[in-house]
Structure 1
């Protein structure tokens, strides 16, 4: 059963109209969404040109999907990104990585993008961005503060030596402070890409958070939502290119 099937089963009155697939890769997650909600409007975002071309090909017959060759971050700009054709682990880099292919991508901020597009509410915000997920979420700060995003699905690190993904605890603290609760935590895999071995414990996963119906004075944990994000090494913090896998 997919994450989206779980959401539908647990929240039977939930009828999404708008879903964001950030880090869409070649459309794997969008197809899972479509299998559950055949008519829902999906905005799928993939910044790497070769991967975006495959995304266009795979979803060319789906009229309810809008494709965007964009990355998201906590501020707008341009960023350099690994651009391996067909790669599911492309990510923002601050310097060349050996002979790896790199391309420049456009970075937008979630709140500003939604305002420009006239999008007032997102029913599911899926973020799968190879370690830049917290910066992506920070760009949706206003919508999160007003709980105009119903569900947030985000990839996260579970094992203590996982430096590829944002630790679950950091994501949880950030979203709890905006009045979100943990809906479920889904195991991703046991392949330890840091040590290049297979662990017995879970190395990464996908966390799903849900907007709680709490009064405003119950929202916030020691002002965590208002705290600035840590500095990053790139000129623009943005998403990776990823659809399935670690």
Structure 2
């Protein structure tokens, strides 16, 4: 499993509580302060490897904006949220998922979780070779207010993923299939989506 935007390890810990040693997790967190908390939180797990970098469309250095140290709302886009300011900055390293997989001899990802405050589409573009060759079974990504800041639309996700994936909205009691795009899907309140590889679903 790839935990991209690992924050302080909350998602990884929830997965580990269920699967214990029966899962291998690669956690990515670009912010130094948050990474230190993540490292301590997951220190006892030998099946988790953590990386102090983010994922994106290309290998580069970018500015991360924060409202406070170790913020769960840190973003590569300077957000405009009433009552908050994002004046703290940090230069972070960004790599592509495609390059990471090649460099680390990773041929298959069962589950890719993305929570990167509006940068999800960029991460997917940097993983295009991997998911277009059916090497990622499940993708979980957020869509919401941060996509206003990054100027990305649900249509961008649908166009990129739908040739190879069935897309679903994740709701309290299950999954709602999204079989075709419609402008009413452009709802900028935080929603999680699941994309399941068609090759995996048919296997």
Q: Shorter-chain-normalised TM-score: which range?
A: 0.7 to 0.9
Q: Which aligned segments of 4 or more residues in structure 1 are displaced greater than 4 angstroms? A: none
- TM (norm. structure 1) is 0.66
CA RMSD of aligned residues (A): 2.6
1:115 aligns with 2:98: no
Q: 2:171 aligns with which of 177, 186, 194?
A: 186
Alignment length, in residue pairs? 179
CA-to-aligned-CA distance 1:120-143 (integer Å, 9 cap, x gap): 111001111111110100000001
TM-score, L = length of structure 2:
0.80
Structure 1, gaps ≥5 residues long: 1-18, 188-200, 215-246
Partner of 2:39: 56
SS in 1 for 2:131: helix
After superposing the two structures, state which structure 1 stretch, 74-83 or 120-129, moved more. 74-83
Deviation, 1:82, is 1.7
Cα–Cα, structure 1 residues 131 and 99, in superposed 2: closer, same or farther, change >3 Å? closer
Which residue of structure 2 lines up, in the alignment, with residue 92 of structure 1? Answer: 76
| Within-5 A mapping of 1:1-246 | 19-39=1-21, 40-83=23-66, 84-93=68-77, 100-157=87-144, 163-164=148-149, 166-177=152-163, 179-186=164-171, 203-213=189-199
Helix, strand or coil at the partner of 1:163: helix
Aligned to 1:239: none
- Of structures 1 and 2, the one scoring higher in RCO (CA 8 A, sep 6+) is 1
**1:184 CA drift (Å):** 4.0
